[in-house]
Every structure is written in structure tokens, then in C-alpha cells.
Structure 1
Amino acid sequence: MRTERFEVRHIDLADADSGSHRAPALSIFWWKDLPLGARASLEDELPYGTSQLRQLAAEYAAAQLEARSIGLGAPLRATYEGWPKPALSLEAALEAENLVEALDAIATPSFAPAQDISVVICTRDRGPALSKCLSSLAAQRSTPGEVVVVDNSQDGNARDVCRQFPNFRYVHEPHAGLSRARNTGVQTSRFDIIAFTDDDVEAHPGWTAEIARAFAQQDVDAFTGLVLPARLDTAAQCSFQFTMGGFGSTFVPLTFDRRFFEETRPSGAHVWKIGAGANMAFRRSVFERVGLFDERLGAGAAGCSEDSELWYRLLAAGGVCFYEPRAVVFHHHRSDWPGLRRQIKAYMKGHVAALVTQHDNFGDRGNIVRIGKQLPVYFAKTFVKALFEGPPGRLGILAAEVQGWLAGLQFLLRFGWRMRRIPMGTAATAEKGIPR
């Protein structure tokens, strides 16, 4: 997709009308409140005709009906081979007389009460973005038990923004580091489910209700949801979404359990596929079982992957993570190339640091294999492909990835860093009346 701007459009297939727009677009398809899938199209492919929309609805219905186990048994589980394929064929979906009724049944929006949910947002020097994020949380159809804003700036500059939202709680954590800020959020929050999002996202109105429904219906320890782009106005934003894959694009629910962990363990368990820290939640008991976020990792420290490293510990301990794309947030990607390259470098540096940490914690050699073999092979293959096929900017992004990998190798030799222990949850974090 070689264009510098895509309009992000949301199309409800229950209405079967895509409008008359012809600008390049990333179309997000819904059935009422249920996200079904996404498709990027250039102007000569638009607008979608009625027959195209009907076929898309059938394709997405086949995947949704299978994944959501309408009369077919247990929920799908992620496997090493990849995401499960729908058993309902396209032809069968097109011919199904009750297709609309079936989709209506699974698209019912959640109004589950969210009073047992603490929402934690960690922020640092992004006042305008934080204001939009908090506005979206104030508009949730199921009001969470509390919203805790952890200000990770030195001078507490998010306080003024938070004054616009008097029902939200403000906590200042001046020690830099996203993991440090998230741990402060865990320790100062009061409810049994702790949901995290970032200050550069806006939450769908049903976000907290869908989290509440998932934990009420599923016997799981952790949760992740769908992260969609808010805008794709620049070449850098398009590159992150289409070339780098954004934050994932799976629109069916998946369960990540011990089986997934064991199948991917020889190559460094692929916990980064579970979701993104911009849309995740945990039962409070998780932090008591496996510890808090590792403060060596994350933005402001090693770079990132503090979320996936926690999922690694949880799966290793027999826990279960559930991905439910009904819970949607919209992320504002980096809009300029320098910002994107810095982000990608930090992501790769943090990924390598997390792999070192996972090896040290569990002795899983697959983490070292990924650092020393799989990632260099990926770099080489990507270089050859980008050299001959593009897309524009890919070589620059690859250079940032390699720089991040090289920067991450230092953690193999930092023995003092490697000996630090993960902060453990304490009895105080489980209490309802923590002093603040």
C-alpha cells in the first residue's frame, strides 16, 4: 500500500452501506458493536458495492461464528501453527438463512457493570492526548469503579488536565519508568480487576463493559483487547500500521494458555502475540502470584515489553490470558519518521531485554536462540525484501530495529542488572483501603 495517507473509516455491515468515498481508506468493518475485520483499499477499489459488502459480511461471519463457538464447543486457543481457521465455509455462510440473526446474537453489546474495575492510565508530558483519553473514559456506558491517572513527569504537569475530571484520581510518581508508574497504579488502586490503557489512546464507549463481561464469563487471569489506529494521516503512521503490523489485527477471540506457552517455548514463547499494553487488564491476584511489572523493562528503562514479560511469567505459572477484540481502543500512532524510528528502536531494545530477563527467570534457552539466531535471520530476510520490493521507508525502519537489537545486547553483559529481582505484590495491594 504505497500511499502517504489513509482515511480510517468505520462501516457497519448491518446497514450494508459503505458510502461514496473514493479516497484511500482503511475500512474497519463492524456488525453493530462487534468489530469484524479491516481492509485497506486504494481509490480505484472504492466504493464497495452491495455484493462486495455481502460477501465481506459472510466471510467475517464465518470466522466469528466459529471463534465464538455458536453450537460448536469450546473457545478457540492460539497455537504455534497460527490462528485457527473457521470451519464454516464462505459458501455456507452466504447461503445461511439465519446469518443475520446469528450475527445479531453475538453482536449484542455488553452493559455489564464495571464497578469492580480500576482503570489505570500512566502519562508523561502529553497533556492534550491525555485529555482526549480521559474524555473517552468519562463517556463509558459502564462506569468503572475508579480511574487512576499516574503522572510520571518530574513536575506533575498532568495535574491541571486531571482537574477537568474531578471524579478521577490523580497520583504523582516522579521516578521515571512506565513499569514503575504501572506498579504505582496497581498499588494505589482499589478494585479486583485492574485495566490499563495509554495516554495516547481513546477508548470505545463499550471498553470497560466488555472487559467486565469477559472476566464475568471467562475463567481467566488476564485480558487483552483490540487496538485500532485512530488516524492514518502520515506516511509514518501508515508504515507502522501496514508495514510493521500496528498492534495486531486479529478480530476473533483467542485463549492463550499453557499449551500455547509450551508449543512456542523452544523459540522463546511468543507472548508478544497476546496483545498490547495499551489495552490489557488483570485480576489483582495475578500480581500477588507472579509479581508486579519488572521495573527494568518498559519505556523510561529498557524500552518496552514489560507487558509481554509479565504474560510470560503468568503463562509459565499456569495462568490463562484471554484476547477479546470486542474491547476496542483507538491508538494515535507516531506521526513523524524520527518519532517512529525512535519508537521502533525502543521496542526492539526492550524486546531483547525482556528475552534476557525471561531466560534468567526460567532458564528457557529459546529466548537466547531468538536473540542470537531468529532476529538476525529476520533482519537479513527483511533487508533483501526491502531492497527489491520496498515499501518506502522500510530500510530506515529496519536500521532502527537493528540499532535497537544491538543496544539490547548490552543486557547480556550487565550482570548487576540481570541479578535484580522483580518486585512482588504484597498483601497491601489486595486491600480495598490502601492509604494514599
Structure 2
Amino acid sequence: MSFQPAYHITHVYLDRQSDWLPPARVRQGNYVVFWWKAIALGHLFIKPNQALLAEAYHTALAAAISPAIEHYAGLQQASGTPWQAWLPEQDYERWGAWMEVLLSSWLPVAIPPQVPVSVIICTRNRAAQLWRCLQQLHALPCAPAEIVVVDNAPTDASTYETTKAFSGVAYVRELRAGLDIARNTGIAMAQQPVVLFVDDDVIVHPWLLYSVWETFQEPTTAAITGLVIALALQTEAQLIFEQCWSFNRGYVDKVYSPGFLQATRGQAPPVWEIGAGANMAFRKSVFEEVGYFDELLDAGAAGCSGDSEMWHRILAHGHSIRYVPRAVVFHEHREKMADLKRQLFYYVRGHAVAALIQHEQQPQEGYARRVFWTMPKMYAYLLVRGFPFFRFRSRTLWAEMKGLVAGMVYFYSHRKAKTPR
């Protein structure tokens, strides 16, 4: 069995820390996330026992945050400023003054105490995680108008008892098992014009609700996804997930228009790159147009890919989706390897089912080729590369390949099933 050192997560706030250099950690790595106030700018992996000198560290820091800084500078017509040189010189005064002006438009002086957003949490027998999530939501400086907890095919009363402990939280029990079934139940219950889905195992950033609400002030936005940062990287399973399957889609705003499908037509448009279901929001009215989540994708207890199939459908109907890195949650990855393998089995299974559904809807987009050719070819390559020890990334290959085959079987045995809504 391979040994993978844990990584300590360090959040460095460049607006207020005079010493930005994290200490070297013996037999432990360091995952450094850089912030300017409430705006995440980038991250850096520092290997175990790797001690970076100040100059090398500042160079690595500049490289990590450069895409985000240049993005904001371009929006403010401030490109060309030699900010990279100020960091190695440790000219923090000039740097800070420039950054304050650069990011002022994204750092409002005041935020509303409540916004018309429904938060939907789909959960099952995870009372401890749900308790933490609800506590966080109740402590937000900008609160949602409504919180809906969907108890999905529970085997005990723990979710109901947890929900009762919090005021203003709506509880609904959905007896049919399946994540997309639970999502649809939550949408039907929601009373606000925007619905935000968060997983029960996330910690929400204080500005999450404000960032979501602010983004939907743009009337052409039908859906958004947000930044997902790892909450802990203490086990090999967590590190494998973050480095090979990360929910983190970067620190730069992105707009996905219908042209995204057209630009990659015939090559299986990678809608799964748009974001993660752990942090996504929709204008509720869009479901009346494009339909609810496809319940055929509930391929097991960890049903998945309903989110990417929904994003594909929204784009195919001519709408836009935004990725907003200022809408942040912190996700608790699976600690144990067995749990990670199970998770990835269902991820790949759901991915295959979603791809085949999209192939039936849009045969010209190339999703069948992805399932029957591109993915098997990729796994053959990974098997050869991992042989004979199958360490780190290779440790989950068998679960993934079984998921791919199971997805094909599931789709063709259930393809006549219809979503009831």
C-alpha cells in the first residue's frame, strides 16, 4: 500500500498579513489558498519538507494568482501594471494600494441582510454534516429568504430531528431514493425566484448568498456555479480527489453561452467543466422552460451527473451559465479510500448515463464516441501507466472502469424511463 503525506491547508490573506510565507512542514505538505479580503485569487501546493526561500515563494505566489489578477485588471482596464515585480521586492504598500483600487468594484461596502434565494439541501442520514451546514447558513451576514431540507429516503429520523432544531427551515421527506429526485422535490417546494443547491458536507463562505444574488441581477443569467475549495486534505483519498477530480474550477469568471456547445460540437462538449453540483444556483423559471432534473440519472445512492446534463439542456435552449469564483463553499472530501472508490464508481456511472442521454438528444455532438471510444482508450492508457503498482491516481481505476460499464448497462436497460415532472 502506498503512503501519501497529509497536506495542511493554509489560507493567506494578502490584504492583512505582513508575513505571507507559510512555515515548512516536516513530513506534511502545504496547500496554500491566497485571498484578497473575501476574494479567492489562487492556490499553491508546496510538497512535504519543501522549504521555499522568500524570493522563490513570491515568484510562485505571483504565478498562482496571476490569472485572477490579470482577469480583474482587464475588466478594470488596468492591464500592464508591473505588479509581479512588487511581490519579490516585498513592496507591500504599493501592492496593497493598487489591489484596493483594482478589486473595489467586487467588494461592496454593505450587503443586504437577506436576499430572495431558496437554499436547497438534499441529504440522507447525515445529521452531523447537516447540523454544521445549517449552523453556517444561519450565521451568514446575508441570509437566504428560505432554506429547504429534502430528506431523501431516510432510514431514521435524524434529519427531521436536526431540522427541527433550526427556526425557519422547511422540511420535506422524499421517499423515493435518488439525488435528482430529491432536487426536483426541493425545486417544487421552493418559493423564491432563485434556488441555490449546496451539499450537506460543505462550509459556506460568509458572502456566498450575496454573490449568488448579485450575479442573478444580470437578466440573461439562467444558472451559475461557484468556487469549491477543499476543506481538508488529511488523507490520501482526499488528496487524490482534489488533485485528480477537483471541484475547483479556478479563480476567474467564466460565461458559458450556447456557443460553447457549438464550438465543441462533434467532440462531446465538456459541460461537466462548468462547475460542481455542490455549489450551483438556478433562476427558478428556467425549470419551467427546460424541465426538471432527469431522474433517470439517479443511478444508485450517489446519483450524479444530473447537474451537467441540466447545464447542457440550459445551453441547448439558448441560455447562459456563469461561473462565479466569489461564490465560495468549502467541501469535505471523502476520507476513506473505500468511500472514494464508491463515489467515483457512481460519478463515472452517472457520467456515462448522462452522455448517452445527451447523445439521444443531440447525436451530432459526439457523446456516444466519448463513452464507447474516448473513455475506454483513456483507461487503457492509465492502466498501462499505473502498472504494476497502481499508486495514487491509479488506485481508483478499477472502480471507475466498472462504473463506465455499469452506466452503459443502466442506460440501455432504463432508457424508456421518463422523468415524471
**TM-score above 0.5:** yes
Which residue of 1 is the match for residue 91 of structure 2?
none
Which residue of 1 is the match for residue 407 of structure 2?
408
Which residue of 2 is the match for residue 160 of structure 1?
161
Which SS does the other structure have where 1:269 is aligned? Answer: coil
1:201 is matched by which residue type in structure 2?
A: V
The equivalent position to 1:56 in structure 2, one of 32, 54, 61, is 61
2:378 is matched by which residue type in structure 1?
A: Y
Query: Are residues 51 and 90 of structure 1, via their aligned partners in 2, closer, same or farther at CA, if it must alter by over 3 Å?
Result: farther
Which SS does the other structure have where 1:248 is aligned? Answer: coil
Which SS does the other structure have where 1:409 is aligned? Answer: helix
1:221 is matched by which residue type in structure 2?
A: A
Further displaced range: 292-301 or 134-143: 292-301
2:385 is matched by which residue type in structure 1?
A: K
Which residue of 1 is the match for residue 194 of structure 2?
193
**Structure 2 counterparts to residues 32-71 of structure 1, below 5 A:** 32-46=37-51, 49=54, 52-53=57-58, 56-57=61-62, 60-61=65-66, 63-66=68-71, 69-71=74-76
CA–CA separation in structure 2 for the residues paired with 1:277 and 1:165: 24
Give yes or no for contact 1:355–1:371 (8 Å, CA) kept in 2: yes
Query: Are residues 420 and 413 of structure 1, via their aligned partners in 2, closer, same or farther at CA, if it must alter by over 3 Å?
Result: closer
Alignment gaps of 5+ in structure 1: 73-86, 425-436
Give yes or no for contact 1:292–1:423 (8 Å, CA) kept in 2: no
CA–CA separation in structure 2 for the residues paired with 1:218 and 1:5: 44
Which residue of 2 is the match for residue 233 of structure 1?
234
Cα displacement (A) at 1:107: 4.9
Which SS does the other structure have where 1:115 is aligned? Answer: strand
Which residue of 2 is the match for residue 292 of structure 1?
292
Cα displacement (A) at 1:7: 0.8
The number of residues matched between the two structures is 406
Which residue of 1 is the match for residue 261 of structure 2?
261
Is 1:419 aligned to residue 420 of structure 2? no
CA–CA separation in structure 1 for the residues paired with 2:231 and 2:83: 34
Give yes or no for contact 2:118–2:144 (8 Å, CA) kept in 1: yes
Further displaced range: 180-189 or 37-46: 37-46
CA–CA separation in structure 1 for the residues paired with 2:296 and 2:53: 48
Further displaced range: 324-333 or 14-23: 14-23
Query: Are residues 356 and 90 of structure 1, via their aligned partners in 2, closer, same or farther at CA, if it must alter by over 3 Å?
Result: farther
Further displaced range: 334-343 or 166-175: 166-175
1:359 is matched by which residue type in structure 2?
A: H
Give yes or no for contact 2:39–2:326 (8 Å, CA) kept in 1: yes
Which residue of 2 is the match for residue 29 of structure 1?
34
- 1:156-215 Cα offsets, whole Å, 9 max, x none, are 430111122122111111111111111010001100000001111111111111101111
Which SS does the other structure have where 2:264 is aligned? Answer: helix
Is 1:336 aligned to residue 336 of structure 2? yes
Is 1:325 aligned to residue 321 of structure 2? no
Is 1:18 aligned to residue 20 of structure 2? yes
- 1:215-243 Cα offsets, whole Å, 9 max, x none, are 1246310000011111111111111111x
CA–CA separation in structure 2 for the residues paired with 1:50 and 1:160: 54
Which SS does the other structure have where 2:296 is aligned? Answer: coil
Query: Are residues 248 and 62 of structure 1, via their aligned partners in 2, closer, same or farther at CA, if it must alter by over 3 Å?
Result: closer
Further displaced range: 131-140 or 273-282: 131-140
CA–CA separation in structure 2 for the residues paired with 1:182 and 1:404: 23
Give yes or no for contact 2:224–2:324 (8 Å, CA) kept in 1: yes
Further displaced range: 356-365 or 167-176: 356-365
1:18 is matched by which residue type in structure 2?
A: W
2:202 is matched by which residue type in structure 1?
A: V
Which residue of 2 is the match for residue 213 of structure 1?
214
Cα displacement (A) at 1:387: 3.1
Cα displacement (A) at 1:341: 0.4
Query: Are residues 118 and 51 of structure 1, via their aligned partners in 2, closer, same or farther at CA, if it must alter by over 3 Å?
Result: same
Which residue of 1 is the match for residue 107 of structure 2?
108
Cα displacement (A) at 1:101: 3.2
Cα displacement (A) at 1:381: 2.1
TM-score, normalising length: structure 2: 0.89
CA–CA separation in structure 2 for the residues paired with 1:28 and 1:333: 17
1:211 is matched by which residue type in structure 2?
A: V
Which residue of 1 is the match for residue 379 of structure 2?
379
Which residue of 1 is the match for residue 397 of structure 2?
398
1:100 is matched by which residue type in structure 2?
A: M
- 1:18-56 Cα offsets, whole Å, 9 max, x none, are 365322111111111100011111243346637734762
Further displaced range: 124-133 or 2-11: 2-11
Cα displacement (A) at 1:332: 0.7
CA–CA separation in structure 2 for the residues paired with 1:176 and 1:70: 45
CA–CA separation in structure 2 for the residues paired with 1:47 and 1:330: 27
- 1:360-406 Cα offsets, whole Å, 9 max, x none, are 22334511010011101211222233338x77233221111111011
Further displaced range: 1-10 or 373-382: 1-10
Query: Are residues 133 and 412 of structure 1, via their aligned partners in 2, closer, same or farther at CA, if it must alter by over 3 Å?
Result: closer
2:6 is matched by which residue type in structure 1?
A: R
CA–CA separation in structure 2 for the residues paired with 1:191 and 1:20: 43
Query: Are residues 372 and 67 of structure 1, via their aligned partners in 2, closer, same or farther at CA, if it must alter by over 3 Å?
Result: farther
Cα displacement (A) at 1:93: 4.4
CA–CA separation in structure 1 for the residues paired with 2:410 and 2:119: 32
Which SS does the other structure have where 2:226 is aligned? Answer: strand
Percent of aligned pairs sharing the same letter: 35
Alignment gaps of 5+ in structure 2: 87-93
CA–CA separation in structure 2 for the residues paired with 1:211 and 1:406: 37
- 1:47-106 Cα offsets, whole Å, 9 max, x none, are 66377347625762553342574245xxxxxxxxxxxxxx95695643687632344425
Give yes or no for contact 1:227–1:279 (8 Å, CA) kept in 2: yes
RMSD: 2.6
Which SS does the other structure have where 1:247 is aligned? Answer: coil
After the TM superposition, list the runs of 4 or more consecutive aligned residues in structure 1 that deviate by more than 4 angstroms.
Answer: 87-93, 95-98
Cα displacement (A) at 1:418: 1.4
TM-score, normalising length: structure 1: 0.86
Which residue of 2 is the match for residue 81 of structure 1?
none
Give yes or no for contact 1:206–1:327 (8 Å, CA) kept in 2: yes
Query: Are residues 413 and 35 of structure 1, via their aligned partners in 2, closer, same or farther at CA, if it must alter by over 3 Å?
Result: same
